[in-house]
Structure 1
Amino acid sequence: MMQTYTEDHVRADGRAIRLTFAEPERVVRGGLVVLHEADGVDDKVRLLVSGLAGEGWLAVAPHIQPSDRGLTGQDILAATDTTLAWLVDRAVRADLIGVMGFDVGGTAALVVAASRKLGAAVSVGGQGISKPLSDELPALVDIAGNLVSPWLGLYGDEGDEAAEAEVERLREAASAAKVATNVVRYPGANHRFDADPAASAEAWQRTLDWFDGYLR
């Protein structure tokens, strides 16, 4: 049965942060922070949150509001920290909390995984590998070696040699981290995998397996 989602608001740094979340019908296995794409928390993100709840996770997506300078690392970490506290307030153990994101959210998930010790992290796509996504964010190859949370990166290269080389650079950088990392490239798939059902299904299963393996 598809899970339904609901809304909450919390205050942090003098401002309200909106949260969209979904709860499992039975036992909560842990908590997952879902970082959204550039379009914000839309129907695709709500579907993802509901799908994760269907797998037993209390899944919550903060509505991240970029600063006047565009999306910054501080914006990402502030929203994530507030959401992590929200999960802990709901009796989710810290070692059973992970983070994941798609596209821009995938970039954000790696930023979080290099700055916060969580149980696990997953990036599905993500820009800014060699060249920063914005002046306020680092290039991912510059921080991947500093990962402090076990991290899985899932990337489609759309059959482009330059995109393939970018993902391989990220794989090499992440291999220097002192935590478990894995980078999986899907030749010919786009960053959302929606044009390749087989890749999409395989990436979804890898995501679930990663969280199953580290959040326990």
Structure 2
Amino acid sequence: MTQTRTETLLLTDGSELRCTVAEPDGVVRGGLVLLHEARGVTDAVRGLAASLAEEGWLTVAPHLYHRDGDDEQIDSEDDDRVADKVSRLSGESVLADTDAAFSWLAQRQVAVDRMGIVGFGLGGSAALVVAASRTLGAAVTINGGGIIAPLSDGLPSLVEVAGELTCPWLGIYSEAGTGIPAEDVAKLRDAAAEAEVATDVVRYPGPVEDSGAKDPAAVADAWQRTLNWFDAHLR
């Protein structure tokens, strides 16, 4: 499997942003910014970065919690700490970090129209916010919450910004295990349809983020849809 490494980027405010990076062994097809889940940079995030690199995408995952001085994985049992970390995020901080990640890709000769963003959970929500604020090639959200009520005081709700999407956007949602109501997903679909770009929302009965899920076929299908979306729009 492709190996990941950590790089440190200096931001304009003087703070340091750590990023997990994975590079293709062969030709680079484009670049992806990968946004992590609420528990931070987990092994699953590193594995996903490596898998995307194996598909030819230069992948960079900014550690969004770096301003707290503690940006690694949060213990799965520490729900209060997870909630506290999420509550501290703002649209400004997410955009500053992703701007740095996109600059890192640009420095490696990746053109803007070949840059995309993808995230799951918290990262999926942030990916949509970024895709509504920056010019990119494509975006994918996997089980992004905060559709009606924002995840933090500093972030907008997804229905609030979905109509402002600047690039083709795919939303992938699970019916079970996420706590995201079907009616919220339907409202997000309608809001995204108002954007002047291609959008799509797909729902699966069970989890799609874990290869150990009860329906591995759904997991594989969601993964392939994600790859197909970037294949179709990052060219």
TM-score tier after normalising by the smaller chain length: over 0.9
Deviations 1:65-98 (A, max 9, x none): 2767611111110110000000000111111100
Tell me which amino acid in the other structure corresponds to 1:152.
L
CA distance in 2, matches of 1:11, 1:149: 27
| Alpha carbons of structure 1 residues 58 and 142: separation in structure 2 relative to 1, 3 Å | same
**1:7 Cα offset (Å):** 1.3
Alignment of 1:35-74 (within 5 A): 35-65=35-65, 70-74=88-92
Tell me which amino acid in the other structure corresponds to 2:96.
A
Q: Which residue is equivalent to 1:78?
A: 96
**1:42 Cα offset (Å):** 1.2
Alignment RMSD, CA only?
1.8
Matched, 1:152 2:170: yes
The equivalent position to 2:207 in structure 1, one of 190, 194, 201, is: 190
Matched, 1:9 2:8: yes
CA distance in 2, matches of 1:129, 1:60: 25
Deviations 1:172-211 (A, max 9, x none): 1100000111111112x13635343121111000000000
Q: Which residue is equivalent to 1:27?
A: 27
Give me the TM-score of the superposition, normalised by structure 1: 0.94
Which segment drifts farther, 156-165 or 120-129? 156-165
Matched, 1:118 2:117: no
Given that 1:126 and 1:191 are in contact with CA atoms closer than 8 Å, whether structure 2 keeps it comes out as: no
Tell me which amino acid in the other structure corresponds to 1:153.
G
Moved over 4 A (4+): 66-69, 159-162
Tell me which amino acid in the other structure corresponds to 1:107.
S
The equivalent position to 1:203 in structure 2, one of 203, 216, 222, is: 222
CA distance in 2, matches of 1:81, 1:160: 29
CA distance in 1, matches of 2:180, 2:59: 34
CA distance in 1, matches of 2:113, 2:91: 23
Deviations 1:143-200 (A, max 9, x none): 111111110000001189971111111101100000111111112x136353431211
Tell me which amino acid in the other structure corresponds to 1:65.
Y
**1:28 Cα offset (Å):** 0.3
Given that 1:32 and 1:59 are in contact with CA atoms closer than 8 Å, whether structure 2 keeps it comes out as: yes
The percentage of counterpart residues that share the same residue type is 54
Give me the TM-score of the superposition, normalised by structure 2: 0.87
Q: Which structure 2 segments of 5+ residues have no match? A: 69-86
Tell me which amino acid in the other structure corresponds to 2:219.
S
CA distance in 2, matches of 1:40, 1:161: 19
Q: Which residue is equivalent to 1:131?
A: 149
Given that 1:103 and 1:192 are in contact with CA atoms closer than 8 Å, whether structure 2 keeps it comes out as: no
| Alpha carbons of structure 1 residues 162 and 33: separation in structure 2 relative to 1, 3 Å | closer
Given that 2:145 and 2:180 are in contact with CA atoms closer than 8 Å, whether structure 1 keeps it comes out as: no
CA distance in 2, matches of 1:26, 1:67: 34
CA distance in 2, matches of 1:182, 1:116: 19
Tell me which amino acid in the other structure corresponds to 1:56.
G
